[in-house]
Amino acid sequence: MLQTLTRMPAEMSSESRRKLLNAVTDLFLLDRDPSQESKEHYGDIALRSLPHLGGDDRRQYAESVAETQTLPRQVAVSLANDADAGVARLVLKLSPVLTDTDLAAIAVSQTQAHLAAIAERARLSEGVTDILVERGDSRVLRTVSGNEGAQFSDHGFDRLLQRGGDDTEVSEALSRRSDLSPQRAQRVLRIMEQMADQSERNQDVETLAKQARQQRLEVKLLLSDLRAKTRTLDDVVLMLAEEDRAFHLAQVIATSAEITNEQALRVLMQRDVSGIAVLARILELGKSTFHAVLELRARRLYFKAKDIEDDLRDYVQLDMATAERTMRFLRLKTKVS
């Protein structure tokens, strides 16, 4: 069927193309493991249709496929390179099929709005962050400096301090990072001291690094307590969520659910709540605990109070059987990859 649909008449209207693309997309997304041939035919339809759609239609399409793991890579690349940053944003932030090479090419050539979306990804390699800190404006620098999933090369960290070190938000974001080495902590502290009053310059240069080490140790101890059953998972998740420690919360969830840290962080911070709701149900987190997780997400992703109420209501109604089926699929994908 997809092969037949690729032979679209050239005179099709934009509205006809939009309806066709939506219909074919619905069919394509039903197949969790499409063949290479199906992906090629679907990709051909999408790439032919997108240039004829208006901005709103492209944006709606991008939102519907941004997190799709089976999306043909060239479709994701096309959406991510869209001149309208509103179309590209969620794909740049969430798409699992974009490679570091794709992201680097986009970061080199596209707008600051595109760079800001890349800076929000759950994981960023050193090569990509090098480009972000070289080309990014203050918004990009603030975002990437606070992104716990962003890795910095020595050169990238140097450039970040050179370009954004005098920005209080950048310096404070760096100071809160859990992966800050003593050497980097000392440099960040030196910059913060230069911006502070003389009375605040007696702070120990090891304070920031010590704080980061203490937090890493604390997470290890929390995981040990969970294994020994001296703490409940609800207590640990509630504490980390209320302290807004998304990266450490993802570590605890990943260990408890037997998935990777990257998967847990992605599920925790993606806009679609279904993934973290399934994990929470599998882990049998209580209503008040999941409410704290939703509040953390709201602070990070700017959700409204009404969204929290709706998501909490849906969570209470989520049955364990559905959650277990979804989780089995996720774990299978992890083993295959």
Put simply, whether the predicted model's pTM sits higher than 0.75 gets the answer no
DSSP code string of 121-155? SS-B-HHHHHHHHHH--HHHHHHHHT-TTB---HH
Q: Using 50, 70 and 90 to split pLDDT, how confident is the model at 204?
A: low
How many whole angstroms separate alpha carbon 333 and alpha carbon 258? 13
**What does the pLDDT look like over 110-155, one tens digit per residue?**
999 999 999 999 999 999 999 999 999 999 999 999 999 999 999 9
Both tokens of 239, joined, read 């504490």
* pLDDT recorded at residue 2: 44
Mean pLDDT computed over 249-257: 91
Which segment of 11-15, 138-142, 160-164, 215-219 scores lowest on mean pLDDT?
11-15
Confidence label for 211 from pLDDT (cuts 50, 70 and 90): confident
Highest mean pLDDT among 2-11, 127-136, 204-213: 127-136
Q: Where are the domains of the chain?
A: 1-98, 112-207, 232-336
pLDDT at 305: 86
Asked if 180 and 212 touch (Cβ cutoff 8 Å), the reply is yes
70-74, 260-264, 300-304, 315-319: range with highest mean pLDDT:
70-74
pLDDT of residue 186: 82
pLDDT at 335: 43
What integer is the mean pLDDT of 150-170?
Answer: 90
Phi first, then psi: give them for residue 73, nearest 5 degrees.
-60, -40
pLDDT digits (tens, 9 = 90+) for 51-66: 999 999 999 999 999 9
CA atoms within 13 A on the CB side of 39: 15
Q: Return the H-helix or E-strand segment holding 46.
A: helix 36-49
**103 closest CA partner among 130, 138, 142, 68:** 130
**Average pLDDT along the chain:** 86
Q: What are 29-53's pLDDT values in tens digits?
A: 888 889 999 999 999 999 999 999 9
| 4 band by pLDDT with thresholds 50, 70 and 90 | very low
Residue 150 pairs with which residues in a beta bridge?
124
Q: What is the DSSP letter of 72?
A: -
Region at 272 (left for phi over 0; alpha for psi -120 to 50; beta for the rest): beta
pLDDT for position 209: 67
Tokens of 242: 């209320």
Q: How sure is the predictor about 205, in pLDDT bands with cuts at 50, 70 and 90?
A: very low
Q: What is the pLDDT of residue 331?
A: 58
The mean per-residue pLDDT over the stretch 166-176 comes to 85
Percent of residues, the chain, with pLDDT higher than 90: 55
pLDDT at 1: 45
